[in-house]
Structure 1
Amino acid sequence: MKILTFSTLFPNAEKPGHGIFVETRLRHLVASGQVEARVVAPVAWFPSSHPRFGSYAKQARVPRHETRHGLQVAHPRYPVLPKVGMNLAPLLLAQAVKPAIARLIDEGYDFDLIDAHYFYPDGVAAAMLARHFNKPLVITARGSDITLLPQYPLPRRMIRWAARRADAVITVCNALRDEVVALGVDADRVTSLRNGVDLELFQPVERAADATFTLLTVGHLVPVKAQELIIGALPLLPGVRLVVAGDGPNRGMLENLARELKVDGRVSFLGAVPQAQLREHYGRADALVLASSREGWANVLLESMACGTPVVASRVYGTPEVVAAPEAGVLMAERSPRGVADAVNALRAAYPDRAATRRYAEGFSWDDTSTGQLRIFDAILTRTQPQRARIFAHTSL
């Protein structure tokens, strides 16, 4: 079958880690040999690539077309309007992308199905595009698109509209599935297919002997990730060191907090780390800590476990489905510096065998996810293709 993957969450030459979980799932699906895929990953328009514009300049430098891991990716531009943009985003996105999709079809890639990721604005725009091009649609919910955005009245109505018009909805954990069903979507059309982990990329590494217990946290330095709770726990964890992998607007605040608490000598900020280099950091750490207030399915948890490193994590949404055995790690009783410290101490008191942690992660390969996607796609095309053929024949007369 031929599919068109559509999402603003997709890596590009300027931001290779952006939405990498969407690319990874697609790569494994294509590797099954049963799917051919093209990607349309729109990028917000910006007029200048001059370095003084920082991240906006990088956005402008994203190529219009590129090939990543054998996948052909188009990056059409779409307008983003300040202040009013949130409500208009789906329509602006759909209108901007229509020509790029029409061109794909004209060039011979008449795909069977749209595979959209993230419900707002992407999934809503995809529902508009599916109706325009008369194609089946599957939307994958991934986290804040369902746990946060439906709190706003208009996005909530549009998300419900898109979900009801999709032929199927996929969620990355059971907790998100419950949230989608609570929006009024028929439970029979919502399937939970968890993310897997790349077991070839993430493997145990040789560890040097080190008496210092080292924590690692990986992720964007933004409020939802709450790295300040981990730094705040360090005064309660004498002698424990923290390595912070990631960058973002909260970095200055986090550095100041470490100085204020007089733990800056025990905190190292690495900045953004390419995914291919994360294995070494996971492998050298004694525990990964994730204190997020929201997570759909946090890939960093399985990446760490695949390297043999257990985790300490907040008990939010899909995380208890990932950390579901003693060899995986420990869930915090509360999201606070004390909660982080208590969970770290609990892990140290009953530290799992690192080989057992790796074996636990091996139960989360991408094979089951790809099989589940193929089953959903096949069922949709079996049901809809004869009907769409009749519509096409009628409109051609």
Structure 2
Amino acid sequence: MLRVLTLSTLFPDVSRPNFGVFVERQTLGLAAHPEVELRLVAPVGLPPWPLATLAHYRPLAALPRREMWKGLDAWRPRFATIPGTRGRFHVAALVRGLTPLLTEIRRDFPFDVIDAEFFFPDGPAAVALGRHFDVPVSIKARGADVHHWGMAPATSGQVVAAGKQAQGMLAVSQAMKADMVALGLPADRIRVHSTGVDLGRFAPRDRAAGKAALGVAGPLVVSLGALIPRKGHDIVLRAVESLPGVSLLIAGEGPERAALEAQIARAGIGDRARLLGGVPHADLPALLAAADMMALASSSEGLANAWVEALACGTPVVITDAGGAREVVTTPAAGRIVPREAAAFAAAIADLLAAPVPRDETRNAAARFTWEANTAALYDHLSELATHFRVFHGIPRHSAA
């Protein structure tokens, strides 16, 4: 059995059910592998007292330190996040908090490998812990963890150093791998590891019935993602504003909500543009299947799960040339890649509405993104790291450090 310690600060909990749901799904898949035993450590960052007592942080502070989460034995240790330091001290705080916990876990579960599921602060912390416990480390890059933390002055050095010291790395797309190499990370230690999609849940449905359930008549565009500037919801709003009769539903929550509400009001399109707030992941298949297309004007991405989930529902996408976009939109049936401008989005949306593509052709673009393939590739990657590390260091299997 391969014993895996999965470390991820990006993971759902009862207060944030959609937070890193794709990491959760990947972890559940790996845990179900017949040759794997897995323990999950999902650290929770909180500011020092008394800030941690503020209403915003109370749900996180109230989370159990250990629980069974969908069959996973999960620990949720705390680590200090000091406001105004731009993440500079996150890694040191995480290592301090995790060293005694992993020492305790290792008494009964001598893990073979640490699987860090987000590059920062998880990656640098995992490298320090791997060195302490004498086990190999894999770090996965997903998007903002490299595009933001890997370029921010306070943290970029920690990200690059961790990548150079990790025994292996994963990237969600070829484009993500190229960005990592551009930062100076060794290409020969980076493996592209594609996301998955549940093709049973995300599948075409009766579009007319779906629209009726949402209170929409006529063409429908859906946009998914946190309400932050990077996702470009304002651009899609301006595009839809110029398309009479087209409705837009935006699923997500974040600090840009008030600005987007004001934009809708100024444009006078409140009758056909709505913010849905955070939508449970279980409800996304119905939403995406009801749409004529999914539009997302991201300035950066790794490989957005929303792209693949939309395609699996037979819903084409209109997206920017961000991250792995060209690895997903490989045929006209999958949608369009356009400049990050409202006019370009409007033209592409109008084009797809004028000449709809058969939904089965669109769905075919998602066929290779399966969770089964994701699990198999992750198992191969981690087991190879563990085997090579033991052989190179002459370590007997499952010896505790």
Same topology, TM > 0.5: yes
Return the alpha-carbon distance in structure 2 between the equivalents of residues 199 and 177 of structure 1.
26
Cα distance in 1 for residues equivalent to 2:320 and 2:119:
24
Matched, 1:115 2:130: no
1:202 correspondence with 2:202: yes
CA distance in structure 2 between the partners assigned to 1:302 and 1:185 by the alignment: 27
Choose which of 210, 220, 223 in structure 2 pairs with 1:214.
220
1:139-164 deviations in whole A, cap 9, x for unaligned? 00110222222323342221121111
CA contact (8 A) 2:160 2:185 kept: yes
How far has the Cα of 1:50 moved from its partner? 12
Match of 2:153 in 1: 153
Distance 1:120 1:335 in 2: 27
Q: Structure 2: which amino acid aligns with 1:300?
A: A
| RMSD between aligned residues | 2.4
Which residue number in structure 1 is paired with residue 57 of structure 2? 56
Q: Compute the TM-score of the two structures, normalised by the length of structure 1.
A: 0.93
The match for 2:214 is none
* Range with bigger deviation, 2-11 or 338-347: 338-347
Q: In 2 relative to 1, CA 394–229 (structure 1 residues): closer, same or farther, beyond 3 Å? A: closer
Contact kept in structure 1, 2:110 and 2:400, CA below 8 Å: no
Are 2:193 and 1:188 equivalent residues in the alignment? Answer: no
Indicate whether 1:3 and 2:4 are aligned.
Answer: yes
Identity of aligned residues (%): 35
Residues 395 and 80 (structure 1 numbering): CA distance in 2 closer, same or farther, change over 3 Å? Answer: closer
What is the rounded CA distance, in whole Å, between the counterparts of 1:25 and 1:4 in structure 2? 14
Alpha-carbon distance in 2 for matches of 1:104, 1:51: 27
Offset of 1:195 from its aligned partner? 0.6
Residues 285-319 of structure 1 show CA distances to partners (whole Å, capped at 9, x for unaligned) of 11111111111110011111111111111111112
Cα distance in 2 for residues equivalent to 1:387 and 1:200: 42
Give structure 2 stretches of 5+ with no counterpart: 212-216
Task: Tell me the CA shift for residue 366 of structure 1.
Answer: 2.0
**Structure-2 separation of matches of 1:58 and 1:34:** 36
C-alpha distance 135-246 of structure 1, shift in aligned 2 (>3 A): same
Q: Distance in 1 between matches of 2:400 and 2:249?
A: 61
Aligned match of 1:68: 69
**Could you report, residue by residue, the CA deviation over 1:235-261 in whole angstroms, capped at 9, with x for unpaired residues?**
311110001111111111101001111
TM superposition shift of 1:55: 3.2
For 2:373, which of 368, 372, 382 is the aligned residue? 368
Q: CA shift at 1:324, angstroms?
A: 1.5
Q: How far is the alpha carbon of 1:344 from its aligned partner?
A: 0.6
Structure having the higher helix fraction is 1
Q: Which moved more, 1:253-262 or 1:31-40?
A: 31-40
- 3-state SS of the aligned residue for 2:365? helix
1:100 maps onto 2:101 in alignment? yes
Alignment TM-score, normalising by the size of structure 2: 0.92
- Per mean C-alpha deviation after superposition, the further-off stretch among 65-74 and 149-158 is 149-158
- SS of aligned partner of 1:288: strand
CA apart distance, 1:65:
1.5
**Aligned twin of 2:363:** 358
Question: For the structure 1 residues 175 and 338, does the alpha-carbon distance in structure 2 shift closer, same or farther, using more than 3 Å as the test?
Answer: same
User: What is the match of residue 86 of structure 1?
Assistant: 87
- Higher relative contact order, chain-length normalized (CA < 8 Å, sep 6+): 2
In 2, Cα distance between the equivalents of 1:104 and 1:394?
Answer: 13
- Between the two proteins, the alignment pairs up a number of residues equal to 394
Match of 1:178 in 2: 178
Q: Which residue of 2 aligns with 1:130?
A: 130
